Structure 1
């Protein structure tokens, strides 16, 4: 008899758990926009420090770095400028960040505004 009561209690407990008890509130939705200049700046600073810090060539191409062709050209110019600064002494603390941001701002200004196509695939 005790087993039967225990079984009935277990079934009732399981049924109560599945019967739509208190609902979990939905996750708050927030819209966030990604600043392409900030993303580009962070990438250029990261890769410049990585390349200047490693004497060994990692063999990564620009796509493996997550860059497009224009960003890669800006990276190469930034690396060359940083090397020139290093040969003359230490690079000022905020110099790399400022130069990367200026390059990315120029790139963002010259990039075309995205458009939508009427169909699938390429516009």
Structure 2
């Protein structure tokens, strides 16, 4: 079974790459994200943009993976409060 933190990491990393590539944000609900996950995505993309400019796409993608994993693990460290991973 996929943990809430792992699920968050996967969707945030996926959408962060799309946002970085397309340089536009969509609606968090159409992405299937919670408000909290969308906030994480925005932080991840904000951190990845200057890295992409200075160090290239590969470095930005590594940062996306690392920061999404860290931020999602922090968000769900105590579980999902019984409300499911989309909270």
TM range (shorter): 0.7 to 0.9
Alpha-carbon deviation of 1:109?
2.4
88, 93, 99: which is aligned to 2:67? 99
Equivalences, count = 81
SS of structure 1 residue aligned to 2:16: helix
Greater helix content:
2
Q: Which residue is equivalent to 1:49?
A: 17
Indicate yes or no: 2:67 matched with 1:67: no
Shift in Å, 1:112 = 5.4
2:7 aligned residue (18, 31, 39): 39
User: Which stretch of the first structure deviates more once superposed, 94-103 or 44-53?
Assistant: 94-103
RMSD of the alignment, in Å? 2.1
Q: Which has the larger radius of gyration?
A: 1
| TM score, norm. by length of structure 2 | 0.78
Unaligned segments of structure 1, at least 5 residues = 1-32, 116-123
Q: Distance in 2 between matches of 1:47 and 1:113?
A: 24
Higher relative contact order (CA 8 A, sep 6+): 2
